[in-house]
Amino acid sequence: MSIRRPRAAMGLLVAALLVPLGAVAPAHAAPALNGEQERAATWLAAQVPESGLFASAYLDFEGGIATYVDYGLNLDLQFALRELDSDDAADEVYDAVVSDTAAYTDQFGTRYAGNVGKLATYVGLNGDDPAAIDGRDLIADLKALMATDGPEAGRFLDSPDGPYQSANTVGQSWGVRALAGEGDPSASTAAQFLLAQQCDDGGFRLYQNVSECESGVDATAFAVQALQSLGDPSFDNEITGAVDWLVGQQAADGSFSDAGAANTNSTGLVARVFSSVGLDDEAEAAADWVVGRQLTGCPEDGAIAPTVAAFDAAGSNPIAQLDQDSFVRASVQAALALDLRSAAVAKGPLTALVLTPSSATPNQGDTITVTVAGQDAAGHSLGDVTCDVVLSSSVDTDTITGNAVTFNHVSPHVITATHVPSGLTQATTVQVTPTAVTPSPGTVVPGAAAPGAAADASRAGDRRLPGTGAAAEPWMLAAALGLVLAGSAVVVLRGRRAGAHL
């Protein structure tokens, strides 16, 4: 049975790994997540399948898509989720990994030292005992992989040793952290070999024992974290030299690159290192650059793109299966720096929905679409969140499919959007009007005047209208006058007869 540290305690432990040497992490509750962190947490949690293990996709030899489980990536995923208050999702991933630790540490007949060190470190950070997990002692396993004498004393090596050693400075750093976390005295020996990988410029090289010493951003950042975990002031100068080298590698826009284009996982990693040594301005610049690569709106809101090119290509489209690994890999590292971003780029949590119907006055029988955008308390746009809402109507006969609504009756219709992740709701009123009737030629619509009647009435009421047709002849006028007089006589005669009966 695992006994997990609550997040506040885990946060203190992580802080203790990252604070300047000689300092003590202050005791305080974990701060509330900001909007960017909440959105990253939601997206990352959505990547956890029922099995608990995220599967990376690749093209097989036949051009089809196959998947595999990168357990190291899943360990990073569970840690990021834990730090982002998504404990349930973190538990699913962590439990799946530690239920079969050999699947990560032992593959193809080889026990990988870096994997053992990383697993032992994360087991400790989760409050479990790395010396008693999944029926094995990870600390003993790790120490068995460490050279004890000669020029490589303290180096963690894969077993059996061979020409294809995967051991490098990142793996060495994980081993140092694992032993330091358990207070094992052999951690200092491992740290000495780690220091042997520091170049004259202050940075650390990735590949060990090579003729040239070329510093790398990721290797240097991991090495700094490992040296900090020892809490030994004798390493202060080496840490300062490494941090100074990192400062010199930061681009004007705040980003970092490691053997390629600027990327968010390297930038997020270094931002945390800067924050740990009090370089707040540099940390903030790095975090701001990361925020600029976070997707907003549907369908991948909260994901952090690995590069500028990947961010631009993503747009408002679903992330392709083959690209999901790179977005998860970037997000688990970069999301941990989102709490360092400046107020200038800050976007708070979702507090309001803005509904935009394609028509506010549709006709009966029409179908419209309703687009929903999100906003924070300051009115900052959080992008299109239509895919995260469910629409409902005040009129039961309306037909709703996704964000499309078909109206069957004439009346005001109140359309309500409910944001599923947050429960937030917002409504808008749509006035449905009768369908216009266009009569065919010659058709008399009930209640409507006959064609031409309006014109005739108009002419009859305007005595000034000019006459039309041929002029009346005099004999025609005389005949008409006679008919009028004869009619008058008949009326008078009938009146007298009627009066005789009174």
Could you read off the pLDDT of 214-269 as tens digits, one per residue? 999 999 999 999 999 999 999 999 999 999 999 999 999 999 999 889 999 999 99
Cα–Cα dist 370/4, whole Å:
44
12-46 core/surface letters (b: 16 or more CB in 10 A; e: else): bebbbbbbebeeeeeeeeeeebbbbbbbbbbbbbe
Contacts of 413 (CB under 8 A, 6+ apart): 393, 394, 395, 398, 405, 407, 429, 430, 431, 432
What residue spans of 184-257 are helical by DSSP H? 187-195, 217-230, 236-249
pLDDT score of 350: 87
The torsion angles phi and psi of 13, rounded to 5 degrees, stand at -65, -45
pLDDT score of 143: 98
The torsion angles phi and psi of 327, rounded to 5 degrees, stand at -75, -40
Contacts of 40 (CB under 8 A, 6+ apart): 84, 294, 302, 303, 304, 331, 335, 338
Which superfamily does 352-431 belong to?
Immunoglobulins (2.60.40.10)
What residue spans of 307-427 are helical by DSSP H? 308-314, 324-334
Within the chain, which residue ranges are assigned CATH 2.60.40.10? 352-431
pLDDT score of 461: 46
**Structure-block tokens of residue 486:** 């004869």
- pTM for the complete prediction? 0.77
pLDDT score of 161: 82
Low-confidence spans in the chain with pLDDT less than 50: 1-28, 448, 453-472, 475, 477, 479-481, 483-486, 488-502
Task: Assign domain 7-340 to its CATH architecture.
Answer: Alpha/alpha barrel (1.50)
Give Cα 168 distance to the centre of its chain: 33
The torsion angles phi and psi of 160, rounded to 5 degrees, stand at -75, 150
Cα–Cα dist 171/168, whole Å:
5
pLDDT score of 445: 53
In this structure, are residues 39 and 290 in contact, taking their beta carbons and an 8 Å threshold?
no
Within the chain, which residue ranges are assigned CATH 1.50.10.20? 7-340
